[in-house]
Structure 1
Amino acid sequence: MIAITVYQDADGNKTGFSSEGHAGFAESGYDIICAGVSALVINFINSAELLCGAKYSLDTDQETGMIDFRLEEPATGDVALLMESMILGLKGIQKDYGNEYIILNFKEV
């Protein structure tokens, strides 16, 4: 299962996220859930950096599927919109395929 935790401050502003695990929907290379989650997450990170100039820290581990992304400042403007778009896509995958493969949580930090 892929576990995704979205971090937010007391005002609900998103500050980052972590994603860990593999969906286990199909064998490696054929898992459409892992591919969908990866596309959404990587596209968000690339877009936040290249299109919006967001400053962040990033830690990854390909073996475990871990990605830990932390913004230096809470998301605002275009970065906030991009993050909400990523979350919308992740919720769609969760709705279509269920909590057996992907779980999305929100945590105040």
Structure 2
Amino acid sequence: MITVTIVRSAEGRIRRFSIAGHANYDKIGKDIVCAGVSAVTVGAVNAIEKLTGFVPEATIRSGWLTAQFPICEEAAREANVQLLLEGMVVALETIVDEYGKYVRIQQSE
């Protein structure tokens, strides 16, 4: 199972997320659940870097991704980073709606 952990600040802003595990929906290379989660999360990190210029602290390896988003002092950039991260959460929730047996989302402060 893939576990997505979203850590929010007291104000509700996403400060960190991590992805751990494998869906085991299908064979390696054919697992659409793993591919979907990977595309959404890696795509979010890449979009944040390219569209906002903010480079999060991120580490990726097989079955694992973590990214941290310290507060950005520029309010407009911080708002854009948060919008992209919330979009990522919506996309992940859509995957969970269809494949909840293989993916779960945990959110905490």
Query: Is this contact kept in 2: 1:55–1:72, CA < 8 A?
Result: no
Question: Structure 1 residue 10 and structure 2 residue 10: aligned?
Answer: yes
* CA RMSD across the alignment: 1.4
Structure 2 stretches lacking a partner, 5+ long: none
2:108 alignment counterpart: 107
Q: C-alpha separation between the residues in 1 aligned to 2:28 and 2:70?
A: 33
Name the CA distance, whole Å, in 2 between partners of 1:48 and 1:15: 13
Report how many aligned residue pairs link the two structures.
Answer: 105
Moved more, 30-39 or 76-85: 76-85
Shift of 1:18: 0.4
Off by >6 Å, runs of 4+ in structure 1: none
TM-score by length of 2: 0.90
Q: If the length of structure 1 is used for normalisation, what is the TM-score? A: 0.90
Q: How big is the shift at 1:24? A: 0.5
% identity of equivalent residues = 33
Mapping 1:21-40, distance limit 5 Å: 21-40=21-40
Deviation at 1:43, TM superposition (A): 0.7
Unaligned runs of 5+ in 1: none
The residue type equivalent to 1:107 in the other structure is S
User: What residue in structure 2 maps to residue 70 of structure 1?
Assistant: 68
